[in-house]
Structure 1
């Protein structure tokens, strides 16, 4: 029984190649990172209008929103991959 997987030396891979490979393997990770950047950008914009809220409370809420965005994107990606592998799998005859 031979292993049909190719052996690839990741030490020769540049950062751009690594990001391209990771985005192909897991596109929802990239969506999560973009969501994180979006939430942080929105938080920086809203920081001026936080009112009487203390900075530490504002940053804590921003951290929870950013983490929630990333976890949601990864959970949706996991559910999509599980559904693709098990529910929508075509039967081979």
Structure 2
């Protein structure tokens, strides 16, 4: 056991600061699902299964988009903005 144990709140905030697009992806997912569930009674002639498939695709698309933006942001921060150590080119022998 370590002498310093991190509480749940501080651990959550540290994780949010490290990966800010994860909570954004989750919030977008729940927002899309909530919106589509509210619109379910006004779907018209659309079958229930088709409406649910559209809801799933929209929610998954938002999450995948947030993950992609997060990975690109992480790569930018690691390799372009502040490289931790100079990138050494492979020199032929």
Scaled to the shorter chain, the TM-score interval is 0.7 to 0.9
CA–CA distance in 2 between the matches of 1:8 and 1:55? 55
From 59, 65, 77, give the equivalent of 2:52: 59
Unaligned runs of 5+ in 1: 1-6
Number of residue pairs matched by the alignment: 85
**Does residue 21 in structure 1 map to residue 14 in structure 2?**
yes
Runs of 4+ residues over 4 Å off in structure 1: 7-10
Say what the alpha-carbon RMSD is for the aligned residues: 2.6
Name stretches of at least 5 consecutive residues in structure 2 with no aligned partner: 86-93
Alignment of 1:40 with 2:33, yes or no, is: yes
Q: What is the TM-score with the length of structure 1 in the denominator?
A: 0.75
Greater shift in the superposed pair: 18-27 or 43-52: 18-27
Using the size of structure 2 for normalisation, the TM-score is 0.75
Q: Distance in 2 between matches of 1:83 and 1:8?
A: 35
